[in-house]
Amino acid sequence: MILKFLYNLAPSFLKTRLIKKITKKEGGQMYSATLRHLYRTKYGVEIGYGTYGGCFDRSNNIPSGVTFGNWCSIAPKVSIHRANHPIQEFTMHPLLYNPVAGFVDTDTLYRPRLFIGHDVWIGDGTIILPSVTSIGNGAVIGAGSIVTKNVEAYSVVVGNPARKIKMRFTPKVIRDLETSRWWEMDKNALKKELQNLVQLTKNEK
């Protein structure tokens, strides 16, 4: 793809301009198919339709092997880690696992994938550790949280370590939302169904 070729050759300041031009032409960060293709092929990060924010910020620590669902809200300064130093070995230094140190030929650390569901909100300054492999649909992670275990769908978690403080909705509303699968709709389809979807949670307020 010509765009990826140009992006790879461009210096950092031109990369930023190129990304801005692409996103503007394709309806913004939330909807740009080209931007998503670039992040998938160059960085190994899958970003769903409608998702926006810190997932597109290369100054954040978003490694390959991370999948964001559709319609997620990702704040700045989110850091996702996919491996730990090997504390069970005689040394925790990269000499045991990183070829850069000159002792091994390939990276030997286990790096599990992370699947982030649809309509997930991750607050500013959140740290997600390698022990986390799943964050469920509709989950909320409060700003500054350190997430050490999987997050239940539609739960709100905060703190260090992050713990569940409540569920967003009753089991019935959660079932209704899951049945609707609204996150599979594009912008135009969602506009038509918006009022019906709003009614699903009306009694919760």
Active site residue 85: yes
Q: How far is CA 152 from CA 79, 136, 162, 166, 176, in A?
A: 20, 5, 12, 11, 17
Is-contact 66 80, C-beta < 8 A?
yes
Can you give the length of the chain in residues? Answer: 205
Catalytic residue among 37, 81, 85, 93: 85
Instruction: Kindly report the number of other CB atoms within 10 A of residue 183's CB atom.
Output: 21
Closest among 97, 119, 94 to 106, alpha carbons compared: 97
Catalytic residue positions, numbered: 85
